[in-house]
């Protein structure tokens, strides 16, 4: 579903892009030399927010979350470029840290709420389902928001991008990631919009026809 203005095309040093959906406002910002995407999810009526991946540039992230009522910071996986600003953001907001236990040891702060596949994380009145995607890292997770008339929206970290799965370092991890994506993400509707850890967004319908190509090339 498009709100008519949101594109998801953001650049480091540029403005955030904002998508206002019924029940959830999504703000996307690019930071760091790695061009990491950070997502602020807000339930405007509840006055609560959740941050996905406090990647870098803590000053920029603190400006982003100022006044939003951030209660939770979810880290999609343990790679260093996705959590460098986590200590500053948590210190400033008092937010609860959330991650999968398999990657928790890689984070610079303790994980206060470890989550497993099928768990739920809330922002105000909205629920996000945790989907464990094994392969990019052992504890990579995605968050799925089923927004009713607003459509389904997935925050995939580095597990799925336009053009294919995230990087893996051996054939077993690649097979694991592809298996999990096909079993746990691609059954969602074609119109499902996904928001990756770097770069542009896409929809599952746009990517689905290319799954056999991804399998064949092995990355």
pLDDT tens column, 26-48: 999 999 999 999 999 999 999 99
What CATH number is associated with residue 155?
3.60.15.10
Specify the pLDDT at position 94: 98
| Domain tally, the chain | 1
The answer to whether residue 8 is domain-embedded is no
The answer to whether residue 152 is domain-embedded is yes
The answer to whether residue 3 is domain-embedded is no
The answer to whether residue 66 is domain-embedded is yes
The answer to whether residue 9 is domain-embedded is no
Specify the pLDDT at position 1: 40
The answer to whether residue 6 is domain-embedded is no
The answer to whether residue 186 is domain-embedded is yes
The answer to whether residue 7 is domain-embedded is no
Those residues whose C-beta lies under 8 Å from the C-beta of residue 22, and which sit 6 or more positions away, are 147, 148, 149, 150
Q: Mean pLDDT for the chain?
A: 97
Is a pLDDT exceeding 80 seen at residue 217? Answer: yes
- Determine the structural domain holding residue 194 and report its residue range: 17-217
Is a pLDDT exceeding 60 seen at residue 2? Answer: no
**Closest CA relative to residue 194, chosen from 207, 184, 182:** 207
């Amino acid at each position: 579903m498009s709100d008519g203005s949101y594109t998801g095309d953001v650049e480091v040093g540029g403005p955030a892009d904002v998508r206002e959906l019924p029940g959830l406002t999504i703000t996307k910002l690019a930071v760091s030399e790695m061009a990491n995407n950070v997502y602020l999810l807000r339930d405007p009526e509840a006055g609560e927010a959740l941050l996905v991946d406090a990647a870098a540039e803590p000053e920029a992230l603190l400006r982003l979350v100022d006044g939003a009522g951030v209660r939770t910071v979810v880290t999609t996986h343990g790679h260093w470029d996705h959590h460098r600003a986590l200590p500053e953001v948590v210190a400033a907001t008092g937010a609860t840290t959330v991650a999968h236990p398999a990657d928790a040891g890689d984070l610079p702060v303790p994980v206060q709420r470890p989550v497993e596949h099928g768990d739920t994380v809330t922002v105000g009145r909205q629920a996000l389902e945790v989907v464990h995607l094994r392969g990019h890292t052992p504890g990579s997770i995605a968050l799925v928001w089923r927004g009713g008339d607003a459509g389904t929206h997935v925050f995939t970290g580095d597990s799925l991008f336009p053009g294919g799965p995230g990087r893996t370092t051996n054939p077993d991890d690649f097979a694991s990631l592809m298996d999990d994506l096909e079993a746990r993400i691609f059954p969602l509707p074609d119109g499902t919009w996904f928001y990756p850890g770097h770069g542009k967004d896409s929809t599952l319908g746009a990517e689905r026809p290319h799954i056999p190509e991804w399998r064949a090339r092995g990355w």
